[in-house]
Structure 1
Amino acid sequence: MWWILSIIPQFMKILPGPPAVITAFIKGIQGTLFTDIGVSLMRVAIGFVLAFIIAVPVGFLMGWYRWAQGIFEPWIQFFRTIPPIALIPMVVIVLGIGESAKIFVIWAAAFLTIVISVYQGVKNVDITLLKAAKVLGANDWDLFFDVVIPASFPYILVGVRIGLASAWSTLVAAELIASQHGLGSMIEQAGLYYQVSIIILGILLIGVIGFLMDRGVLWMERRLTGWQEKVS
């Protein structure tokens, strides 16, 4: 369909065909394309890892202690309604235009997704499991590590999957902050010079890399939660 649309006169000037995008890819390989991909991956990785490290304990606290839920949940729910791109002007004022600002925007998108998933996982632990563990003499420490964490582990992996997608999808917005390299920056600069083939190339690369990341997390989820009963 893409190829057919690219040869229709009405679309020829605004939609380059696959050969033009392949040519742009080859030229990019000879230029800074791998650098742009590497920089984007680095930003997403740092933002996502920081989000995961902070979101998991916060999510467990919210799900396990009512006081933590009262403190954190209203703020998290409030900021979840704000698109990360809306934070960019304030982030620039506070953090400047360096790497920390870009990583913070990615972190915010991933954190808000992961923490809710972990929180829901803890809240949805079967109360029967908790009661059975108490009958067998488990204390609060045993309940948390031997019941709550294993039972909520599938939710954690779902949060990882969605959080990684959120981090990757926020990449372009983050790289609008005075970036010299990165796929988002590449798309933005190509838009300024009306280089549509490079814009499409950047979109395709973001989609393909994001898809591969998602497949990797899905594979890990299947390997680590094989014990979980699934509806056939």
Structure 2
Amino acid sequence: MKRLFRTIDERIEESLDSSEGNHITLSHSIPFKNVIDDAVTLIIGVLIVILIWWSVGSIYNTFFAHSMLFPMPNEVFDDLLSLMVGERVFTYTIWQHIGVSLERWTIGFLIAALIGSAIGFIVSLHPLIYKILMVPVNILQMIPGLAWLPVVLILFGFGNDSAIFIVGVVAIAPIAINVSNGLRNVPKVNRRVAEMSELSHWDTFLEVLLPFSVLDIITGLRIGLGSSWRMIIAAEMVVGVMQGIGFTIKGASDTLDYTTAFACIIVICAIGLAIDRLFFNPVERYVRKRTGVGDA
């Protein structure tokens, strides 16, 4: 197990010890090994969650249950399998509910990413601009997503647009804050070198500002992604839509079908983990490798 999670430094030291002459050969299987590492850690983490779930359910059903039993993992996974192979829940298949939720989330998150990145760039241009504009950004961050409900009902009424608005508005602030922090933390000496080299503003952004701030930008996008994905589920429960994962959880809970509700929660977690592990993890690893920050 220790050899499975070796760091880059440990691999280099091992290669130095076994090198001949002036030649050092590093393994070319690092990307595949990263995939194995990610898979192993993911499986272990999921097993821990299932163990906690099983323990809580067993204790509750044995000592505290009265009229309703706590759904156990085997029951929920059986129900989830039935949903995956086409069993309908509230008129639609689970795949149709997932598709609608993903569509709403994608639109809201992309809008938030564009607006948040633009705000983060603008506030980083000058200290005075930062002090002034970060006040409304921080106010925006303090407002819980569902607190926007009266606003969206006035602007859009019940329906799809309200859900998209709530998804987008909660992701803007964390993206803007991390983008601005990344750009403002670029060392002054690098900015001065760019000025002395007479680089254009665009070249300065691409060659100096972006490389130093890209990890903060990725962090902001990951935080915004997590916030917006959680919020689309909550929004679908309250804005009057008739399709989506959030709507399905609320409907199942209202009809006391807690096994289906738990199955939908698993779907939510699986989608969130997949997006984070399959997209943001490889991107962050690539950036760290290119910039030489931390382990690749």
Residues 1:169 and 2:230 aligned together: yes
Moved more, 126-135 or 61-70: 61-70
Counterpart in the other structure of 1:210 = 272
Answer yes or no: is the 8 Å Cα contact 1:14–1:196 preserved in 2: no
TM (norm. structure 2) is 0.73
Q: Residues of 2 paired with 1:5 and 1:73: CA distance?
A: 43
Aligned-residue CA RMSD in angstroms?
A: 1.9
Answer yes or no: is the 8 Å Cα contact 1:5–1:11 preserved in 2: no
The alpha-carbon deviation at position 136 of structure 1 amounts to: 2.2
Pick from 192, 198, 202 the counterpart of residue 254 of structure 2.
Answer: 192
* Equivalences for residues 45-64 of structure 1 within 5 A: 45-64=106-125
* Equivalences for residues 111-122 of structure 1 within 5 A: 111-122=172-183
Higher relative contact order, structure no. (Cα contacts within 8 Å, ≥ 6 residues apart): 1
Show structure 2 runs of 5+ residues with no match: 1-50
Pick from 6, 14, 20 the counterpart of residue 75 of structure 2.
Answer: 20
Between structure 1 and structure 2, the one with the greater Rg is 2
* Equivalences for residues 57-136 of structure 1 within 5 A: 57-66=118-127, 68-136=129-197
Q: Residues of 1 paired with 2:229 and 2:160: CA distance?
A: 16
Residues 1:156 and 2:217 aligned together: yes
Residues 1:183 and 2:234 aligned together: no
Q: Residues of 2 paired with 1:166 and 1:147: CA distance?
A: 30
Counterpart in the other structure of 1:9 = 62
Q: Which amino acid aligns with 1:203?
A: I
The size of the alignment, in residue pairs, is 232
Q: Which amino acid aligns with 2:198?
A: G
The alpha-carbon deviation at position 229 of structure 1 amounts to: 2.7
Q: Which amino acid aligns with 1:130?
A: R
Q: Residues of 2 paired with 1:54 and 1:214: CA distance?
A: 21
The alpha-carbon deviation at position 5 of structure 1 amounts to: 4.5
Residue identity (%): 29
The alpha-carbon deviation at position 141 of structure 1 amounts to: 4.1
**For residues 64-87 of structure 1, what are the alpha-carbon distances to aligned partners after superposition, in whole Å with 9 as ceiling and x for unaligned?**
134543453111101101111111
TM (norm. structure 1) is 0.91
Q: Residues of 2 paired with 1:201 and 1:141: CA distance?
A: 48
- State the 4+ residue runs in structure 1 displaced beyond 4 angstroms: none
Q: Is the alpha carbon distance of 1:3 and 1:77 closer, same or farther for their aligned partners in structure 2, counting shifts above 3 Å?
A: closer
Pick from 199, 208, 232 the counterpart of residue 138 of structure 1.
Answer: 199
Q: Residues of 2 paired with 1:5 and 1:163: CA distance?
A: 31
Q: Residues of 2 paired with 1:11 and 1:132: CA distance?
A: 68
